[in-house]
């Protein structure tokens, strides 16, 4: 059942990645209708409706810093946040996750995952002027990447349920990283390209080793 649940969520994520263009074109009604239809495949698709507001936040504006502060604020105040979320999940199909969220009984994500997802955000700040000139979708890539980081950071506390939302936003983090490398300049591009190969290669090796030991 859990395997098919992942397949259904992956299907929703794939359609969302294509449908986000509707937000860029301000075609909000068709986007909301698509999200409501997708919620019949996987209920979590309802979370994608508020993305209309979040993805439209201007890149590296006050809204961006508020979003980042909210991310770290939720992490720091997790015990309070967990209690509120547990109450919200009561009576829903996701109530079974409440124990892990509030009582820390489930294993969380490795903090390295959150650090890796934060790298494109840092690079986008360093090369923000070049990104603004090159990519008209910069703000959407950035905001989706911050959300991706937020959910993974919360997942490091103790519950993998938050990491499940990253399936919707991971593609944006990858694209943002590539865009940052492209606009970084010839010398920086070579350094970042080699660094990505080495560091992501090491992380992949580490993940494989820990996964094998886990089984």
pLDDT at 92 over 80: no
**By mean pLDDT, which of 17-26, 184-193, 204-213 is the weakest?**
204-213
**In this predicted structure, what is the pLDDT of residue 81?**
78
Q: Determine contact, residues 53/26, Cβ cutoff 8 Å.
A: no
**pLDDT at res. 214:** 45
pLDDT in tens, 119-128: 999 999 999 9
Find the range with the poorest average confidence among 23-37, 170-184, 194-208: 194-208
- 98 band by pLDDT with thresholds 50, 70 and 90: low
- At residue 136 the predicted structure's pLDDT band, cuts being 50, 70 and 90, is confident
Share of the chain above pLDDT 90, in %: 52
pLDDT in tens, 38-48: 999 988 899 89
Q: Where are the alpha helices (DSSP H) in the chain?
A: 2-19, 21-24, 28-38, 51-54, 62-76, 78-89, 98-103, 111-126, 128-134, 138-155, 166-182, 186-214
For 168-185, what is each residue's pLDDT tens digit? 999 999 999 999 999 998
Whether the model pTM is above 0.85 = yes
Computed over every residue of the chain, the mean pLDDT equals: 85
pLDDT for position 27: 94
49-54: long-range pairs with CB below 8 Å, 24+: 51/20, 51/23, 51/144, 52/23, 52/28, 54/143, 54/147
pLDDT bracket for residue 210 (50, 70, 90): low
């Amino acid at each position: 059942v859990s395997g098919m649940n992942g397949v259904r969520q992956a299907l929703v994520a794939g359609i969302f990645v294509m449908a986000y263009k509707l937000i860029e074109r301000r075609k909000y009604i068709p986007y909301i209708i698509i999200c409501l239809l997708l919620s019949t495949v996987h209920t979590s698709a309802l979370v994608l409706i508020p993305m209309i507001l979040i993805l439209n936040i201007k890149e590296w504006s006050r809204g961006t810093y508020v979003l980042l502060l909210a991310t770290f604020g939720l992490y720091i105040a997790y015990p309070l946040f967990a209690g509120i979320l547990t109450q919200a999940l009561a009576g829903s199909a996701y109530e079974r996750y409440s124990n892990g969220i509030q009582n820390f009984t489930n294993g969380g994500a490795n903090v390295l995952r959150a650090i890796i997802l934060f790298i494109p955000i840092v690079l986008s700040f360093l090369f923000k002027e070049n990104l603004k000139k090159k990519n008209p979708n910069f703000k959407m890539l950035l905001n989706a990447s911050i959300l991706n980081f937020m959910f993974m950071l919360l997942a490091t506390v103790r519950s993998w349920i938050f990491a499940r939302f990253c399936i919707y936003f991971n593609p944006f983090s990858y694209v943002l990283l590539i865009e940052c490398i492209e606009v970084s300049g010839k010398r920086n591009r070579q350094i970042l390209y080699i660094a990505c190969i080495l560091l992501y290669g090491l992380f992949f090796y580490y993940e494989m080793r820990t996964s094998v030991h886990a089984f």
